[in-house]
Structure 1
Amino acid sequence: MKTFLKTFATDESGASAAEYALILAIVGAAIATAAGLLGDSIQGAINQATTNVGTATTEMGG
């Protein structure tokens, strides 16, 4: 029993899986945040383009 506990305490194979899961969670959160920010930027650019096209059409008498 003493040998089993010693081996169990020094076994690090399970730590690798936990570390990979933590890294995956952090990377996933970063990708989700970046996608949200990029979506907001794209929406703002499209709204600005729509406004500019509407202004140009109005000024041209269209």
Structure 2
Amino acid sequence: HSAMTVKTSIKSGAHPNYSAMVKQALTTCKGFQKMSRQAILSFIKQNFGVENKAALNKALKAL
């Protein structure tokens, strides 16, 4: 049971989920239609202080 509590405590962070962060990056930056993954990751890192390339790729594929 302790492993489950660790997972839930890690999951509930101080930042929104990656889908929401990607959408914010795309709507905030002008010319978002030509925005690269690296630019989106840089925006998320600067504004939210997190960097997880796998989660970013998953969020982009879901859009």
Which TM-score applies when normalising by structure 1? Answer: 0.30
Which TM-score applies when normalising by structure 2? Answer: 0.30
